[in-house]
Structure 1
């Protein structure tokens, strides 16, 4: 007889609280949500000061593209900016120093006033330039 099974990776802390559900769950809820919200004080959108308790937890790398449901991939945004992220096809990213930034669909980077642009790798920079050029050419037609 053939046996079938399923293995799921779930990481718990020293108290047995789930802190990383990997791909086993899409939503940040319960302890996973609480843990993710500890990383932020307010909405991560540049210039937004909505307190974290009024925010939603979402993925930096989208779940449907392979993003994991864990604190490393967690992003906290107020309801309006989380909705705008999906409607306007914004992408969240982290630079090598762990700073988060948002990229609009046309490739422009949104930063808080006075913030330095992120250090992009050569591949990211090339992609960013190609995306901006494509948008410019499409609008010029």
Structure 2
């Protein structure tokens, strides 16, 4: 399969918010994946272009299988138990799979405990790389 996910909010999933298997191809662009069992998992020979996403408060940000191929850029990871993890027994940290432009800052959501994953007007997720903001939802206006 070949799928593009753009500007989705996926939250409170018991398992991964996004799971790719076999020889699937995907583009994950500006999504907010928060409070899940995992952010995105790339199994088998999956291929993915992953940019401009926020992955927060999940057990694992990105889970990789050795045969997967990913290009990561301008993703924000915060509050996860592990950000980049290689599957195995036991799973191991995989910092070499991180995107060179990925960031690790708190996103500054309006009210994540109440399901409001919009960015605050002063969030550091605004104007990152070529993106006007990271994640699925634009920041709230600073004008009353």
- TM superposition score category, shorter chain reference: under 0.3
Q: TM-score, normalization: structure 1?
A: 0.24
User: Where is the strand percentage greater, Structure 1 or Structure 2?
Assistant: 2
Q: Which has the higher contact order (CA 8 A, sep 6+)?
A: 2
Rg (Cα) greater in structure: 1
Q: TM-score, normalization: structure 2?
A: 0.24
User: Where is the helix percentage greater, Structure 1 or Structure 2?
Assistant: 1
